[in-house]
Amino acid sequence: MAYQKHLSPDEMFANLLAENRPNAYANIRGDAEHPHLYGIVKFYDTKLAGVLVEAEIFGLPSLSRSFAGSFFGFHIHENGNCRKPFDQTGGHYNPDNAKHPDHAGDLPPLLGNHGFAYSVFFTQRFLIKDILGKSIIIHSSPDDFTSQPSGNSGTKIACGIIEKNSRSFG
């Protein structure tokens, strides 16, 4: 029997990112007050019964003059309707009726630095098939991880609809 190497999670994730063939994605666009805010969020199926999420966002507003970085709430919302002003996206995706911040759609906040944010994380809170057609929202303020029902993360400043991927990126 030939030796078969098992990839560690970090090797598996690095390979998925290098192949750059997500199973789903959302093109992010800013609202009327943030027309230069844009980016992409990619979703990769993994062999670990979860999803690798990669977000690359440009044009985030600077919220603090004391330092270059600012935190932004980042969530999956129930409805895939990104008509501006993004008021039809519904609440956080929450199929189990959990309290915040335990909704399936509660994601780690984005850390913007000079308008740019890059984030990669693994989650087992949802499968890709469960989030297709839902929206990804970037909020104007950081999530406080306490306030109910949604973390008091401010207004919705950017939105994208999660779509099944049938193309190659890169």
Per-residue three-class SS string for 3-42: CCCCCCHHHHHHHHHHHCCCCEEEEEEECCCCCCCEEEEE
The string of pLDDT tens digits covering residues 102-130 is: 999 999 999 999 899 999 999 999 999 99
Q: Which residue has the tokens 């499968």?
A: 127
10 located within any domain? no
Q: By residue range, what is the domain housing residue 84?
A: 22-164
Taking the CB of residue 10, how many other CB atoms lie within 10 A of it?
A: 9
Q: How far apart are CA 131 and CA 106, in angstroms?
A: 12
Question: Is residue 1's pLDDT more than 50?
Answer: no
* pLDDT value at residue 7: 81
Fill in the amino acid letter for 132.
L
Average pLDDT, the chain: 90
The number of C-alpha atoms within 13 Å of 1 and in the hemisphere containing its C-beta is 3
Q: Is residue 33 part of a domain?
A: yes
User: Could you report the per-residue pLDDT of 148-164, keeping only the tens digit for each?
Assistant: 887 889 899 999 999 99
Number of domains in the chain: 1
Confidence class of residue 168 from pLDDT cuts 50, 70 and 90? low
Give the torsion sign (CA, 8, 13, 14, 20): positive
Is position 170 within any domain? no
CATH number of the domain to which 94 belongs = 2.60.40.200
Does any domain span residue 102? yes
Is residue 106 a part of any domain in this protein?
yes
Rounded Cα–Cα distance for residues 107 and 78 (Å) = 14
pLDDT at residue 144, as a whole number: 86
How far is Cα 76 from Cα 46, in angstroms, rounded to an integer? Answer: 19
